[in-house]
Amino acid sequence: MSAPALFSNYQWDQSNLTNRMVLAPMTRGRTKVGRVPNKIMGDYYVQRSSGGLVITEATSISPEGEGWVNSPSVYTPEQVDGWKSIVERVHQAGGVIILQLWHTGRASHSDFHGGDKPFSASAVKLEGDKIHTPQGKKDYETPQAMTQKDINRTIEDYRHAAQNAKDAGFDGVEIHAANGYLINQFLDAKSNKRIDNYGGSISNRYRLLDEITDAVLSVWPKEQVGVRLSPNGVFNDMGSPDFRELFSFVAGALNKKQLGFLHIMDGLGFGFHELGEPMTLAEFRGLFDGMLIGNVGYDKASAETQISNNNVDMIAFGRPWITNPDLPIRYKNNYPLRDFSDDSTWYGGGEEGYSDFSTYKDEHGITSMSEVSEHK
């Protein structure tokens, strides 16, 4: 009898992924001084390395890209060294790990930038809840529209961050173009009101992602580079009427670059902007030839269905993996999951609610390592 699809191997570039489960990138805010990745972050990723693939939390490419309290970055030697230690530990545990490259754009605040307003495609304020800053919770601000000089500098920041990720030993990188952050702000007509080569038409709005991707590809082989998109997403005040045409174009353009993977947040679990019939994973399967990762609200059964129907190669899981560090083992053996509805320790703090969750094996005193070792 063949193994269930969710627990079958998948060959991605030079890596044999031992199952089809991806640890989704989740911002947790656990760094302290200098946004340097630390030991408890390493503990967290090692504990969750039984997934087929680990994608790190969003990691800022530059000081200008920051917009979340105590999130990690990757632009200083100290930050690179911190990530290098984590990567080495994950590799020792048998895991495969890639770094997500992030610029928050207007989803930031001047408190993060010495009083300077954050950058975006246009001077269009994010309409939404307040933002947590180093000085407390505040209203979003109208951002600065980026000049060509700002854009050129940011593209170079992505190139530099990609090189730092390579120096740290990662197995690949993911360009975060989803969830209403900077690249998504250029893609979406709701936030992009430019009249130059980066605004107006879909091909113009795609231009920044195109140039950033090429910068990253100057450092990494195409097989080890991916992009994350949220075609149906409303997070950070996103959603434009032409989303179907936009993201079909973007997926097709990225496919021509022969990238290693595309990570689609289909938004059907939660966060759908409801501006039309949502785009599905099956649609993207027809637009992209590389590894396709699905995300947002999937459980074991729905993930199995998507993979068995060949709509997607991998499924990323987030919230259930917070409280269940051995999620693949629990799913494979039909062990019950620990509740993950309490979000009081999701963001910020230390080990509590982050790296202090026990495995099912430890909870129940199981002495056999057979079901554990086969996931390593």
- What is the rounded CA–CA span in Å between residue 128 and residue 90? 37
* Sequence spans of domains, the chain: 5-373
- What is the rounded CA–CA span in Å between residue 42 and residue 248? 37
45 tagged catalytic: no
Give the global pTM: 0.94
What class has domain 5-373? Answer: alpha beta
pLDDT for the residue 211 = 98
pLDDT for the residue 371 = 47
Both structure tokens of 133: 């800053």
pLDDT for the residue 2 = 59
How many helices (H) does the chain have, and how many strands (E)? 12, 14
Both structure tokens of 127: 């309409």
pLDDT for the residue 269 = 64
Contact 271, 235 (CB under 8 A): yes
Contact 306, 314 (CB under 8 A): no
313 backbone dihedrals φ, ψ, rounded to 5°: -95, -35
pLDDT for the residue 372 = 45
pLDDT for the residue 369 = 43
Integer-rounded Cα radius of gyration of the chain: 20
| Exposure string for 33-55, b = 16+ CB within 10 A, e = fewer | eebbbbebbbbbbbbbbbbbbbb
List 262's β-bridge partners, or say none.
Answer: 227, 292
pLDDT for the residue 276 = 82
**Segment-wise mean pLDDT, segments of 10 residues, the chain, 376 residues:** 81 93 96 95 97 98 97 98 98 98 98 97 95 95 98 98 98 97 98 98 98 98 98 92 97 98 84 83 96 94 94 96 95 92 85 91 65 42
Determine which one of 140, 181, 198, 206 is catalytic.
181
pLDDT for the residue 366 = 64
Contact 265, 229 (CB under 8 A): yes
